[in-house]
A and B are shown apart, each in its own frame.
Chain A
Amino acid sequence: MPPTTPPNGLPDAPAPFESWGRYPTYQAKVLPVHWQNDFPKVAAGIHDGALPVGMGRSYGDSCLLKDGNLLVTTSMNRLLSFDTTTGLLTAEAGITLGQILDFAVPLGFFLPVSPGTKYVTLGGAIANDIHGKNHHVAGTFGCHVTQFELVRSDGSRRLCSPTENPDFYAATIGGLGLTGFISWATLRLRPIVSRMIDYEGIQFHGIDEFLDITRQSQHVEYTVSWVDCASTGKNFCRGVFMLGDHSKVPAELKPSPEPKLIFPFDAPGFALNHTTVSLFNTVFFHKQIKARVKALQDYEPFFYPLDKVLRWNRLYGKRGLLQFQYAIPWENAREGTVAILGEVAKSGLASFLAVLKAFGDVPSPGLMSFPQPGITLALDFPIKPDVTFPLFERLADMTRDFGGRLYPAKDAAMTASQFQTFYPQWEQLARFRDPLITSSFWERVTGDKLAL
């Protein structure tokens, strides 16, 4: 019968900490940060490094710090101000996008940019400069962050905006949490009159049809495609192009229901193999019987189809999954995508979730932002040590050769030389890194170990 409040002593023993990909798993101490002024107090006296962490939804090791300290921000989720005329919302950095939506949707506002899960924090969305299905019109998340406060381990606090401390503003957007601790941020929300999305699904057969639809749908706010990467021959690069706009027909802005399903166990390693994925893909492709369908769809399944099943990452078993997401610029986008999808099909490893999208040319204010005009493809691979890593390395090299780059938030495998080729501006970020803060990702791809 423990008391109402947990023991005031923090857990001394490091505990295994998983990222969303469940690979790698590292021991780390958890230092929860409840209040805006807790940092750097909470990290006083530590010498083995610290990393601000939100929901841990990054797939690889950018949200991990082996044998270090994780500054978990999820209870810093207070709303500080909201202006219903401008849509400007100021909130503490640990609030999740889902919590923002729970508040904002009933008032007729929506996120300016939304990723494929609502279980990420505001701070994490800034640190990874996330993108969404509207990148071609809205740019990245960072484009809509008007200001934030950055706290450094020396206790200094900086207001960062395009005009105040613009260097720290740029380094922190997409800065992987390394520049300091974001205590709060202001985000510009966009008005909506309905929860519903005017949805359209279009089957495509091959990359050229995908590119045609992309060109014809520039005026649609949200576009994304699912691609069947298990098929070869005449079905190679077939998929479903999904388009959506916020419905302009006013409708009740009721709150979202709570998710009910939790994936209950670690699936056995053989659950996701080439056969099951091929089967799933064929069913998924033909689920849409007609070549074109139109529907009115709630925003939840449109944006967050996987959030309905909490802990879906267990589907990949205990070994976890490896994500691979590239952005290849337009001049090589078609060729690169065909070559990489071909290499994947040839490998016999099937990606269960393959997402294809065209990035637009709205520039991000972030120094290290991942998106660039061209095509992005995201693939999930169950980890089979002998097969997955060599394939991943081949794909990363191909990406490099096509002038593209990989997404640090989704990565657990790129090499230091690959990273440094993808992001030559990493040395600039290194100059803005807080001396106390580092991540396993950063140490891996820069060799820059903490010297304290």
Chain B
Amino acid sequence: MTTNGSSYGSTTAPTALAASQQGEAPILGARKKILVLGATSGIAEATCRIWARQGASLFLVARNADKLAAVAADLRVRGAAFVDTAVADLDDTEGHPALLAHAINSLAGMDVAYLAHGVLGDQTAAEQDFNTAAQILHTNFVAPVSLLTWLANYCVQRHAGVLAVISSVAGDRGRKSNYLYGSSKAGLSAFLGGLRNRVDREGVTVLTIKPGPVKTAMTSTMKGSEKFADVDKVAQTIVNAVDKRVDNLYVPFQWQPIMFVIRNIPDRIFKKLNL
């Protein structure tokens, strides 16, 4: 079944829905029920292929109906137990409650929410025009905060669940070439840290994923892209981190020491660097 547009089967808010499903233990084995937001992104698609092979149930949300249909077809063929989709613009925060309720209804519960949507944005334009900057912040920070607020409350009520969110190493320190993107991800990382601190005692895991450059089709033929991380390996690392309920994940792991160094470069030196 595929749902298009903004009319969802149920308008029940996810928090209300949670009450009816209390007592149902989450399964983090083979038959996970996974909600994927931004399912047509390269990393999300690669991750979903692994979950599909494991026989997971997936609810996929993305903006473009054609792309979403291709991804959903692929995951069905690869062995997903159940795949449902909704076309939605996640910038529309008012639509979030109905969208999430519909998704959780469709999956008959939710063990994992995977937030993979986001934009790089146009840094140069954002330097000149606040509206462009605000749009980047909205998509990468405000919209995830809205989704995660609903989703966290749903999970808290069930005392279970994993919220896996793609942030970025770019959020660890602002740099001149993409500080709008970086600051939106920095805000997201900080939000996730605080949310984790709040919900961990309720049995809910918040996983902050910080990828470095990943080899996708767009970079695969670029010079130096041989050194980029393989998207399938990145995806496998994320799947493992969800299973093990990890809190923070740099992927590939080498980025952890690299970012430690970059965070600790004194500003009097950092501001002279061309990064």
With a CB–CB cut-off of 8 A, which chain B residues contact A80?
70, 73-74, 77
Contact of A34 among B166, B175, B218, B275 (CB under 8 A): B218
Residue of A1, A3, A32, A81 near B217 (CB, 8 A) is A32
Q: Does any Cβ of B come within 8 Å of A30's Cβ? A: yes
If A3-B178, A6-B218, A32-B220 touch, whether A78 touches B73 (CB-CB below 8 Å) is: yes
| CB proximity of B249 to chain A, nearest CB, Å | 12
Chain B interface bracket (under 10, 10 to 19, 20 to 34, 35 or more): 35 or more
Q: Say whether A4 contacts B211, CB under 8 Å.
A: yes
- Of residues 29 to 44 in A, which have CB atoms within 8 Å of B's CB atoms? 30, 32-37
In the complex, A70 Cα to B211 Cα: how many Å?
28
Residue positions of A touching B, CB distance < 8 A: 1-8, 10-11, 15, 17, 30, 32-37, 70, 72, 74-75, 78-82, 92, 103
Beyond A3-B120, A35-B67, whether A75 also contacts B223 by CB under 8 A is no
Instruction: Using CB atoms, name the residue of chain A closest to B170.
Output: A3
CA distance A30 to B216 in the complex (A): 13
In the complex, 28 of the A-B residue pairs with CB atoms within 8 angstroms, ordered by the A residue number, are A1-B169, A1-B172, A1-B262, A3-B168, A3-B170, A3-B182, A4-B166, A4-B168, A4-B214, A6-B216, A7-B120, A11-B222, A15-B222, A15-B223, A32-B218, A32-B221, A72-B217, A75-B42, A78-B73, A78-B74, A79-B73, A79-B74, A79-B77, A79-B78, A80-B70, A81-B77, A82-B77, A103-B77
In angstroms, Cα B260 to Cα A1, docked, is 12
> Per-position contact with A for B39-70: 1 when CB-CB < 8 Å, else 0?
00111000000000000000000000011001
Interface centre among A32, A37, A70 (most CB of B within 10 A): A32
Given contacts A10-B218, A74-B217, A75-B42, contact A2 B212 (CB under 8 A): yes
Contacts A6-B219, A7-B120, A75-B42: A81 and B73 contacting too (C-beta < 8 A)? yes
Q: How far is the CA of A103 from the CA of B78 in the complex (A)?
A: 7
- Cα–Cα, bound, A11→B225 (Å): 12
**Which A-B residue pairs are the 9 nearest by beta carbons?**
A75-B217, A78-B74, A79-B77, A30-B221, A2-B213, A6-B219, A32-B217, A4-B211, A3-B170
Chain A residue at minimal CB-CB distance from B255: A1
Query: Once bound together, how far apart are the Cα atoms of A409 and B66, in whole Å?
Result: 33
Select B221's contact among A3, A72, A82, beta carbons within 8 Å. A72
Contacting residues, chain B, for A6 (C-beta < 8 A): 213, 216, 218-219, 222
Whether a CB of chain A sits under 8 angstroms from the CB of B154 is no
The answer to whether A35 and B220 have CB atoms under 8 Å apart is no
Residues of B within 8 A of A10 (CB): 218
Cβ–Cβ < 8 Å partners of B182 in chain A? 3
Asked if B181 is an interface residue, CB under 8 A from chain A, the answer is yes
A35 pairs with B70, CB closer than 8 A: yes
Residues of B within 8 A of A79 (CB): 73-74, 77-78
Report A8 CB to chain B, min CB distance, Å. Answer: 6
* In the complex, per-residue mask of B205-244: 1 if CB is within 8 Å of any chain A CB, else 0: 0000001111011111111000000000000000000000
A35-B67, A80-B73 are known contacts; what are 6 more A-B pairs with Cβ within 8 Å?
Answer: A5-B118, A5-B119, A5-B120, A35-B70, A74-B220, A92-B70
Residues of B within 8 A of A103 (CB): 77-78
**Complex formed: what's the CA distance from A80 to B181 in Å?**
34
Set B42, B43, B70, B120: member contacting A8, Cβ < 8 A: B120
Bound form: Cα–Cα A11–B70 in Å = 26
How far apart sit A82 and B169, CA to CA, in the bound complex (Å)?
39
Contacts of A78 in B (CB 8 A): 70-71, 73-74
In the complex, what residue of chain A is closest to B78 when comparing beta carbons? A79
Q: Is the CB–CB distance between A34 and B217 below 8 Å?
A: yes
Complex CA–CA separation, A30 to B218 (angstroms): 9
A2 to B43, CA, bound (A): 15
Check B66–A37 contact: CB distance below 8 A: yes
Chain B residues contacting A81 (CB-CB under 8 Å) are 73, 77
Least CB distance, B187 to chain A, in whole angstroms: 15
Give every chain B residue within 8 A of A33 (Cβ-Cβ).
Answer: 217
Q: Distance in Å from the Cβ of A397 to the closest Cβ of chain B?
A: 37
Contacts of B170 in A (CB 8 A): 1-4
Asked whether A1 lies within 8 Å of B221 as measured between CB atoms, the reply is no
Min Cβ gap A323→B in Å is 23
Complex Cα distance, B67 from A234, in Å, reads 62
Kindly state whether residue B269 has any CB partner on chain A within 8 Å: no
Alpha-carbon distance A8/B78, docked complex (angstroms):
29
Report Cα–Cα, A423/B247, bound state, in Å: 62
The answer for the CA separation of A263 and B191 in the assembled complex, in Å, is 46
Which residues does chain B contribute within 8 Å of A15, judged by CB atoms?
Answer: 221-223
Q: Which of B66, B120, B172, B212 gathers the greatest number of chain A CB atoms within 10 Å?
A: B120
